[in-house]
Structure formats: structure tokens, C-alpha cells
């Protein structure tokens, strides 16, 4: 009697133990948390860089607007005696000019008065809202731009000194400061920018 036995290869079936599975899960969660933290930091950095660009653009727009209106102050081609600067303060100025008329609308046809739109305006810095505003006529303030932290206007007389009292203003120095709406996530500080300009007033 032949005893023939089948030669079988025994394959050990081994899986992960509970301890190994827990270690893998811990490693996975640590790597995932680190990845999400890195992505969050990159997103915050990109958002702050975009905010910094907006501050520069808004401050430049505010300075260009103030310079444009000051440059027009006292424009009186028909010689009616329009006073260019009617009210002056460190953070606001009232300006009169004659650049528009009723016949041709807003096409640069002066009519001898400063009653048309954008001819008798009040430029002011609103510290509560952080905005530069224009008030024209009896209408509500129009916001030129936001992200403004300060506006400083300096009024100079003909000899270059500070114009006092009712002394005629010949030049206006402008300093505009802007700041981000939120702080840099890494430093905790807001980014600021400062721009300066100077405009000669028509006399």
C-alpha cells in the first residue's frame, strides 16, 4: 500500500494587525494635517498679496482724483471771478471751477458759473470708513476709493510759505496713505503705502 500524500504549499495569510493599522492612520492624519496647513498658509499669503496690490491701486486712484480736481480749481475762462479754493482743512478741501455748460453737457463748454456737476465739489477723507469721498451739490457723498488711512493737505502761498487765513492758495501739497483692510497673517501687521503729490492752483 502506497501512501501517497499530496505535496501542498502552505501559504500564510497574514494581514495588518490593529496596532499597525493605528500607526498607519496616525501617519496619514499627520501628513494630511501638515498638507492642509501648508495649503491654508499659501492661500492666506496669496490673499494678502492681492490685498497689497489693491491698496497701491486704491491709493494711486485717490491721489489722481485729488490732483485732478485741484488742477481744475479756479478754472475761469470767461473771467467771472470764480474762487478756486473756497474751504480748506487738513483732510478736506472745497473746490470751484467752470469746465462744463448746459449747451454741450459735460464736453468742456464753460458757461460762466460753477453750478454744473463736478464744478462745486467738496473732497474729504472719511476716517470712520477709510474712504475718500466727493460731495457735489446736494447729493449724497460718492466714494472714490476705500483702503485710505489718511489724507493730509498743505496749502502754500505765493512765496512758498504756509497760506494763513484768507491768504490766496497757490500750491497744494498732498499726502495720501493707504493700508490693507486686514493684517499680514505672518507678521500680524497691516501693510501701508504713502504717496505724495503737489499741484499748482490757478490764480
Q: How many CB atoms lie within 10 A of CB 82?
A: 22
**Nearest in space to 72 (alpha carbons), one of 119, 3, 25:** 119
* Per-residue pLDDT tens digits for 138-195: 788 999 999 999 999 999 999 999 998 888 899 999 999 999 998 888 888 899 999 9
Q: How many CB atoms lie within 10 A of CB 28?
A: 10
Per-residue pLDDT at 65 exceeds 80: yes
Which region among 20-34, 130-144, 170-184, 188-202 has the lowest average model confidence (pLDDT)?
A: 20-34
Contacts of 54 (CB under 8 A, 6+ apart): 147, 180
**Nearest in space to 191 (alpha carbons), one of 88, 9, 55:** 55
Q: Higher confidence at residue 127 or residue 110?
A: 127
Asked if 99 and 84 count as a contact pair (C-beta separation under 8 A), the reply is no
Per-residue pLDDT at 47 exceeds 80: yes
Per-residue pLDDT at 64 exceeds 90: yes
**Nearest in space to 55 (alpha carbons), one of 193, 200, 199:** 193
pLDDT (average), residues 92-111 = 73
Q: How confident is the model at residue 11 (pLDDT cuts 50, 70, 90)?
A: low
For 180-194, give one letter per residue: b (16+ CB within 10 A) or e: beeebeeeeebbebe
Amino acid 25: pLDDT: 82
Q: Which residues of the chain form beta strands (DSSP E)?
A: 85-89, 92-96, 120-126, 131-136, 142-145, 148-156, 171-179, 192-200
Place of cell 501638515: 34
Annotated domain spans of the chain: 41-200
Amino acid 8: pLDDT: 55
Per-residue pLDDT at 95 exceeds 70: yes
Q: How confident is the model at residue 107 (pLDDT cuts 50, 70, 90)?
A: low
Supply the mean pLDDT for the chain: 84
- pTM for this predicted structure: 0.76
Place of cell 454744473: 116
pLDDT (average), residues 101-123 = 72
Amino acid at each position: 500500500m502506497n501512501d501517497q500524500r499530496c505535496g501542498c504549499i502552505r501559504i500564510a495569510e497574514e494581514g495588518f494587525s490593529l496596532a499597525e493599522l493605528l500607526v498607519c492612520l496616525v501617519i496619514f492624519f499627520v501628513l494630511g494635517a501638515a498638507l492642509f496647513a501648508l495649503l491654508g498658509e499659501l492661500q492666506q499669503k496669496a490673499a494678502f498679496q492681492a490685498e497689497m496690490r489693491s491698496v497701491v491701486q486704491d491709493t494711486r486712484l485717490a491721489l489722481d482724483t485729488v490732483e485732478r480736481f485741484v488742477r481744475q480749481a479756479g478754472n475761469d475762462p470767461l473771467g467771472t471771478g470764480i474762487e478756486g479754493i473756497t474751504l480748506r482743512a487738513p483732510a478736506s478741501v472745497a473746490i470751484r471751477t467752470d469746465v462744463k455748460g448746459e449747451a454741450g453737457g459735460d464736453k468742456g463748454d464753460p458757461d460762466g458759473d460753477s453750478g454744473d456737476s463736478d464744478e462745486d465739489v467738496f473732497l474729504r477723507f472719511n476716517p470712520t470708513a477709510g474712504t475718500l469721498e466727493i460731495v457735489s451739490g446736494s447729493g449724497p457723498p460718492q466714494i472714490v476709493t476705500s483702503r485710505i488711512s489718511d489724507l493730509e493737505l498743505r496749502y502754500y502761498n505765493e512765496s512758498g510759505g504756509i497760506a494763513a487765513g484768507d491768504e490766496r492758495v497757490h500750491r497744494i501739497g498732498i499726502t495720501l496713505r493707504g493700508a490693507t483692510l486686514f493684517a499680514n497673517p505672518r507678521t500680524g501687521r497691516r501693510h501701508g503705502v504713502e504717496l505724495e503729490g503737489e499741484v499748482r492752483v490757478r490764480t
